[in-house]
Amino acid sequence: MNEQLTHMAKQVTAGKLTRREFMGKAAALGVSAAMASTMFADAARAAEPKRGGDLKLGLQGGESTNSLDPATYASTVPYMNGRHFGDPLVEVAADGTIEPRLAESVEGSADARVWTFKIRPGVEFHNGKTLTSEDVLKTMERHSNEDSKSGALGIMKGIESMKADGDNFQVTLTESNADLPYLLADYHLVIQPDGGMDDPGAGIGTGPYQVEVNEPGVRHAFTKFANYWNDDAYFDSVENIVINDATARTAALQSGQVQLINRIEPKVADLLGRAPNLTVHSIPGRGHYVFVMHCDTAPFDNNDLRLALKYAINREEMVDKVLRGYGTIGNDMPINAAYPLFDDSLPQREFDLEKAAEHYKKSGHDGSPIILRTSDVAFPGAVDAAALFQQSAAQAGINLEIKREPGDGYWNEVWNVQPFCASYWSGRPVQDQMYATTYLSSSDWNDTRYKVPEFDALLFEARGELDLEKRKELYAQMGMMVRDGGGLICPMFNDGIEGMSNQLAGWEVNPGLELMNGQVSRQLWFA
């Protein structure tokens, strides 16, 4: 009974249980009204934000090659560093709406071509400089520069001009785009003094915590910035500890070395969730685990070979054995029902060994081993998923050779470099951003080298289409183009599985990027 009461108290703290519901359930367990009232009051008090304490995060997704330059962020630890020390203009809230950050208001013209962001006054950078619209302009110019190699470069396409005008930053687009505020919420677009032109890796921003220790691949420590402009961060300090090994990460949470971890392996999630001092959160969303092929590199420049591999993967088996039910099957496109304007009538690709063998024969491949690179850091269960893929492909006569790569350096030396590898995407708030980041021909993060002018034209047409039904049709067409002609093998959409000490409170479900869309250091507190 004590375990049930503890679980109910957690639900109160998380806002999932009202007083009436709590009292009713407690009575059903034979708990007196007086005792139940006391327990409810204790849980309610825990739900009130408290200041102080040192938050330690145990994270997979950190490497010795990581930089504090927001343009370079490609894995979890750098992304979380930016969330601690910096701010974008706007943020996407848990309910999918746009939330002001350094822009206190956003206004679009009637045709959605001209967007004006009013910059919040009195905001201070960690170096003492006051934020201006010029800092915003230079930040955007840096990320739209081809030489920057920014992860946000793809979403900056379609901008005709930008200007700083007093307290306003204004963007004029070549075509209408009602989703522009969502694009500028991208986590790479951390506003830096002078746009980061002089020293982009200095780690200076306007966020609640300033950089104290920067040891890439080991740890990154931050302390509360005394002149932070907002009041939505409660800890005295935050530390990102790089723990790429899943077993070590789980042990660190259980022992209390850290209070929060990401990417719990599905095979241990249920067992870990039974621990009385921990809570495991599973969050469905837009994240997907994938295998990516470079469409411009042999043998993957042959679409029949790509189709052979797509038909040779058993999605249902992978969801069952790798995700253990914490996810859904994919359809070789990066979009699922979590996205606005998703077309659920699109046909689902099935596991079909006959078609796989047919396309493989048609490709004319010589039968030599096809090398698939993977690593434990690619996604939880990536090595097991590659092994399953190897087994099912062999049934179609396709010889896959699995090469297991070290975790350190994977995101710099394998992903977006080698022609066939395991990877993951956290998804984006809207389809335009997902497609612009990963499938636009000119995007630096086009990790399948899918460069199709007709697709680019549809993307820009969809941006300017204000009729939602017509835009939905365009997105459906784009999805099928990627599915049938691209280099993406998307067997599954994953739930985010994260573990948290019950010392922490304030958790809310956020379908954005992992760790509450990166906001855990701002929205959680010690109960």
Predicted confidence at residue 108, as pLDDT, reads 96
β-pairing, 54-59 vs 237-242, is parallel
- Comparing CA positions, the residue from 149, 188, 211, 221 lying closest to residue 412 is 149
Q: Name residue 213's beta-bridge partners.
A: 221
Q: What is the mean pLDDT of residues 488-510?
A: 96
Q: Where are the alpha helices (DSSP H) in 206-352?
A: 246-255, 266-272, 303-311, 315-318
Distances in Å between the alpha carbon of 404 and those of 47, 378, 422?
A: 44, 10, 10
Q: What is the pTM of this model?
A: 0.84
For all residues of the chain together, what is the average pLDDT? 93
Q: What is the mean pLDDT of residues 468-494?
A: 97
Query: Which residue has better confidence, 161 or 21?
Result: 161
Q: Is the dihedral of CA 510, 255, 382, 151 positive or negative?
A: positive
Q: What is the pLDDT of residues 313-364, one digit of tens each?
A: 999 999 999 999 899 999 999 999 999 899 999 999 999 999 999 999 999 9
Q: What is the pLDDT of residues 388-445, one digit of tens each?
A: 999 999 999 999 999 999 999 999 999 999 999 999 999 999 999 999 999 999 999 9
Residue 375 contacts residue 410 (beta carbons within 8 Å): yes
Residue 282 contacts residue 296 (beta carbons within 8 Å): no
3-state secondary structure of 394: helix
Q: What is the pLDDT of residues 157-172, one digit of tens each?
A: 889 999 999 999 999 9
* Out of 12-16, 221-225, 381-385, 468-472, least confident range: 12-16
CB-CB neighbours of 304 under 10 Å: 16
Q: What is the pLDDT of residues 235-260, one digit of tens each?
A: 999 999 999 999 999 999 999 999 99
Q: How confident is the model at residue 33 (pLDDT cuts 50, 70, 90)?
A: low
Predicted confidence at residue 419, as pLDDT, reads 98
- Dihedral (C-alpha) 402, 403, 408, 412: value to the nearest 10 degrees? -90
Q: What is the pLDDT of residues 74-102, one digit of tens each?
A: 999 999 999 999 999 999 999 889 999 99
- Comparing CA positions, the residue from 163, 156, 158, 127 lying closest to residue 142 is 156
Residue 115 contacts residue 258 (beta carbons within 8 Å): no
Rounded percentage of the chain residues whose pLDDT exceeds 70: 91
Residues in CB range of 2: below 8 A, 6 or more apart? none
Strands (E), 156-287: 159-165, 168-173, 209-215, 219-224, 237-242, 260-261, 278-283
CB-CB neighbours of 273 under 10 Å: 15
What are the φ/ψ torsions at residue 338 (nearest 5 degrees)?
Answer: -75, -15
Predicted confidence at residue 237, as pLDDT, reads 98
Residues in CB range of 394: below 8 A, 6 or more apart? 400
CB-CB neighbours of 163 under 10 Å: 11
- Above 50 in pLDDT, residue 469? yes
CA angle 377, 379, 384 (to 5 degrees): 100
* Out of 28-32, 35-39, 113-117, least confident range: 35-39
Strands (E), 101-188: 103-108, 114-119, 159-165, 168-173
3-state secondary structure of 457: helix
Q: Name residue 108's beta-bridge partners.
A: 115
Q: Which helix (H) or strand (E) holds 290?
A: strand 288-293
- Comparing CA positions, the residue from 488, 372, 342 lying closest to residue 425 is 488
Structure tokens at 312: 């040779």
How far apart (Å, rounded) are the C-alpha atoms in residues 490 and 167?
A: 44
Q: How confident is the model at residue 47 (pLDDT cuts 50, 70, 90)?
A: low
Predicted confidence at residue 1, as pLDDT, reads 46
How far apart (Å, rounded) are the C-alpha atoms in residues 508 and 14?
A: 7
Q: What is the mean pLDDT of residues 502-518?
A: 94
- Above 60 in pLDDT, residue 267? yes
Q: What is the mean pLDDT of residues 445-461?
A: 96
Residues in CB range of 331: below 8 A, 6 or more apart? 346, 348, 349, 483, 490
- Comparing CA positions, the residue from 515, 522, 440 lying closest to residue 481 is 440
